Structure 1
Amino acid sequence: MSKAEVDKVEGAEMETKAPPLRPRDAATLLLLDRQGGEFRVLMGRRHSSHVFMPGKFVFPGGRTDPSDGRVLVADGLHPEEEAKLTVRASRTTPTRARAIALSAIRETYEEAGLLIGNKGSFSTSRPDWQGFAEHGVMPSLTGLRFVARAITPPGRVRRFDTRFLAAFRDDVAVELPQGGPTNELEELVWLSLDEARAADVPAITRTILGEVQQRLAGDPRLSPGGPVPFYRMLNNRFVRDLL
């Protein structure tokens, strides 16, 4: 697709013709539930008052905080997943990859009230991670799978280099009935992958859902080191590569 075609598909999702911006690291989590004979994914609706993608269904996630990489974990990334995240062309160090993965876990707690990790003693001085200490959960990265990457095209008022990670509901140690402490999402729902693709989602989200659905069809356990589609603008065209 050309840049003009991408702009047309995205429509009003993002403003265009912004000054050049360097993409910022971001991470989002596709939390999958494999009970009931089909896969469901957790999605939340952004508040209609938000300037950025109001009313859209999205995965929990957000901007990466580099200091997340210093949080203690029960288990690190699977070596094959770390290798995918730190492939030479990405210029991502292991420390940066760790921060990206942990930010996806933190955002899932903040927005959905789901704590991924192992039950046990955990303490930290980081305010953003106090919920894990209060509920006795040490974060764990071993179950995360790197399933896609996408860089927002140039000309947007916000640009992110987003890593899409996946985990299974089995990896959740604690589910808070009242949801997360932030007010980012006004509705949390579990949708089948077909339902999620038909919902009011951003164009790139629908694309990633299709990618993950296809991968699950051949690899329902999401084995480590699987192919990772990478979407970005190159020579004024939106391209897909595999990492």
Structure 2
Amino acid sequence: MTPGGTLGPHTRETAYAALFARISEGLLGDPSTPLTFQRVVERAREVVPGCEGAGITLRGRGRSSESTVAATSELAQEADRLQYELDEGPCLDSARGSSDATTLVSGDLRHEERWPAWADSVTRLGVRSVLSIRLHTEVENIGALNLYSRTTKAFGDESVELAEIYAIHATSVLSQARLVTGLRTALESRHDIGVAQGVLAVTYDISYEQAFELLRRISNDTNTKLRDVARQVLSERGLPAALLH
């Protein structure tokens, strides 16, 4: 339940702080990134008044490489997809940072001129309002949080205010989840490489240093990630035949 708009400014800010503290706690129940993305969109739909569907656009490494990593409904998924297909729309402007504004709102997509092709397509799905907010840290744009409604002018001032505060919390949580996932992957890779060194050292009667150098040379010669070479060594219990040809 969101704080009511009839509260005084100080009381409302206190209520918002308490609400989002609880939300931040819940979003990282399991720090795996895919689950966290899904929790973010589901809670956005609950928290922001007027929101009927939500999706997250994740920014790719190059232009036209964006993708939806979580959505609450097929409608939100399709509304996002149309933006990628047509290469225009609020979530792309937000995710790419091509607009100075970090928050983009349209209260009636039937008369939207900023993204004419997308607006025409998405109104045929029944979408009337959109609110897109950039998810960004000081060093990178993660993407955009996209909120949709079948109602005209669904996102008023309170909705925008709540969505912007929520996006700050969501960005923090997503950054933490990505860091945890990255650290977990790094630790797993380090473990696999260490065990593979042991396998090669015992199998070929070489030192651990020589085993690591062998792994590194195969990785460089075959343009294969070191951790993948290590996993093949573990799978075959020796030098991977497929990488030696």
TM over 0.5: no
What's the TM-score, normalizing by structure 1?
0.25
More helix by share: 2
What's the TM-score, normalizing by structure 2?
0.25
More strand by share: 1
Q: Pick the structure with greater CA Rg.
A: 2
Q: Which has the higher contact order (CA 8 A, sep 6+)?
A: 1
